[in-house]
Amino acid sequence: MITQKMKYALKALLTLADEAAKPQPEALTIEEIAKRSGAPKRFLEHILLEIRNAGYIASTRGRTGGYQMIKPPEAVSVSELLRMIDGPIAPLQCLSRRAYQRCEDCSDEETCRIRKVFAEVFWSYLVLIESLTLADIQKSAEVSDRILG
């Protein structure tokens, strides 16, 4: 399950990506991103700072300042964002690639039935989530809007 913080991050990035797709994109203030995305301004400040520090967006100061995408949506990996915002995505610490820890109560990972079942589910999830980009979410939203709209 993704956290509310991750949902706000995705909403903010989608807002910035939509603006970047316009013929003459402008930098958006936190207030404008909050208004367009529906994410609360007080959470966006910290989230946008994290995303900026990761190199997905840039910020400019001043009257015409704000935030802009610097990576194309196709280059924004949802799994990397998930890890950055929410931390490890594995359901068990012994399945994590980047935050691996042996389970305290496990005597043998090779024969652990719980690990085996969750590993199968997790690897299937990873195949999907690691191929997902911000552009995929944008396209999905556009299709939904056309169908429902």
- The DSSP element (H or E) to which 66 belongs, if any, is strand 66-69
Q: Is 13 exposed, middle or buried (0-12, 13-18, 19+ CB in 10 A)?
A: buried
- Taking the domains of the chain in order of start, what are their residue ranges? 4-69, 73-144
Predicted confidence at residue 20, as pLDDT, reads 95
| Amino acid in position 73 | P
Question: Which of these, 107, 13, 3, lies nearest to 67 by C-alpha position?
Answer: 13
Q: Rounded mean pLDDT of 42-46?
A: 92
At 58 the three-state DSSP class reads: strand
Confidence of residue 134 (pLDDT cuts 50, 70, 90): very high
Predicted confidence at residue 141, as pLDDT, reads 62
Confidence of residue 53 (pLDDT cuts 50, 70, 90): very high
Predicted confidence at residue 89, as pLDDT, reads 86
Predicted confidence at residue 144, as pLDDT, reads 47
Predicted confidence at residue 2, as pLDDT, reads 87
Predicted confidence at residue 96, as pLDDT, reads 82
Predicted confidence at residue 142, as pLDDT, reads 58
Between CA 85 and CA 6 the distance in angstroms is 6
Contact 61, 49 (CB under 8 A): no
Predicted confidence at residue 147, as pLDDT, reads 42
Total Cβ atoms within 10 A of residue 30: 18
Q: Is the pLDDT of residue 55 over 90?
A: yes
Between CA 129 and CA 118 the distance in angstroms is 16
3-state DSSP helix/strand/coil % of the chain, to nearest 5: 60, 5, 30
Contact 136, 128 (CB under 8 A): no
88 φ, ψ (degrees, to nearest 5): -55, 145
Q: What is the mean pLDDT of the chain?
A: 88
pLDDT digits over 62-116, tens only? 887 899 999 999 999 999 999 999 988 888 888 887 888 788 888 888 888 888 8
Identify the CATH number of the domain defined by range 4-69.
1.10.10.10
Predicted confidence at residue 149, as pLDDT, reads 44
Q: Tell me which of 95 and 4 has the higher pLDDT.
A: 4
